[in-house]
Structure 1
Amino acid sequence: MKPSEIRVALAPGLLVFSPAARRDGTASVAADGVSTLGHVVESLGVPLTEVGAIRCDGREVPRRHVPLGGESVEVDTVPRPQRVPGAPLRFLLDVHLGTLARRLRLLGVDTAYESTDLGDPALASLSAAEKRVLLSRDRGLLRRREPWAGAFVYSTRPEEQLDEVLDRFRPELRPWTRCTACNGLLRRATPEEVAGQLKGGTRRSYDVFARCGDCGRAYWKGAHHEQLEAIVERAVTAFAPEGGRG
């Protein structure tokens, strides 16, 4: 390593972001005496939402530390479960994560999502205004400064995406309490209250219903209930903390 360079070693979980890193997970970066470690890590393609502790020559330092030539830097991933202090744990998902949004809502996790693309500035501002953790596969969106908190979703498969989020944040799970369409809270409803949404066969076959307090959508144990039940049971068994089983 040249005296004017710093050696950066990325944790294995961060290598997906950095094509500049060598096979051993290291990269050499010029030390300009101005750039902070946060800027250095971002210059390697790593969103700071994915970064945990940073050590410089073996001692933990803040992201604002300005490294000097000849120093060695180690960058860890965020610890799991990740704690997000300052507000109740709630999520905001970008337009590409609709299935994940519905599954989180199925589990009773407060999840905001719009099926239309609001654009990066609006999403980032909404995250800050409502203090929601912004989930996205868009690295550029996560590198914006406005979001209150954020996390990269690594997988493209909804099953694995759900596991990622539940494992990383361990939110409280209260299945069957939220509307999968709008995130509103559900309440018990009589057949008469939801009669306008029921076909004849449904009215004759079911007598237990729920209704969203926000959009009014009706719910019952229909044809897809077993599939949904399997998703819920797996998530609760694997990820629900004590006291979070609903």
Structure 2
Amino acid sequence: MRNIKLTIEYDGTRYSGWQRLGDSDKTIQGKIENILTQMTGTKTEIIGSGRTDAGTHARGQIANFKTSAATSLPEMLEFLNRYLPRDIVIKKVEEVPERFHARYNATGKKYSYYIWNAGVPSAFERNYSFHYSDELDFELMNAACLKLIGTHDFIGFSSLKKTKKSTTRTIDELSIQKEGDMLHFTFVGNGFLYKMVRIIMGTLLEIGSGTMDIETIDEIFERKVRSDAGMTVPSQGLFLDEVYY
């Protein structure tokens, strides 16, 4: 049995997220599995590195699947990209050791979030950024980023319900770059809780616009209450850039 690793790029605008939902034809996983099943002649399921929400995009999602098909790697790549919708692209197909698992072997992830910070929205960037028109204090936001870097219990920055699993994560990088009216936020860490990046983003925006004090970050870590943190920003500004192994 062969173990095949896929590196996947997708525009999540039209989809209900990564994870297959019953018989729905509106998920990334479902679309890829349908084409793989056609290619191999047997029902094929893939394992993703993690879920992405409806509207979220990816430049480097990773998945793997097992198959006994003799199809060569170049043939797989050509077949998948020929029959998948144009907003889902397989960037790379690799044969990996049998024990490789896209989710369990991941050691970290890199995400980007984009803010269109201007008085009027952009017709072209509307599906790939969040329009936020308030004036922002970048010095204050950078100071807030520094508070979030490191190892913390991020449950207060998550939409997770009660869980027995650890909610401690490490953020290695949280930085801001301004490119004209576009703000590019980079998140690198060993893992992210459900909606954690989007809630941190909402918190940073509220601090930057003056509606939340920077000291609130310490209170969220201490109290571990979701309602203390900022809004959950929309999914269309979020990109999964890379998964580390």
- Structure-1-length-normalised TM-score: 0.24
Structure with higher RCO (Cα < 8 A, 6+ apart): 2
- Structure-2-length-normalised TM-score: 0.24
Q: Which has the larger strand fraction?
A: 2
Larger Rg over CA atoms: 1
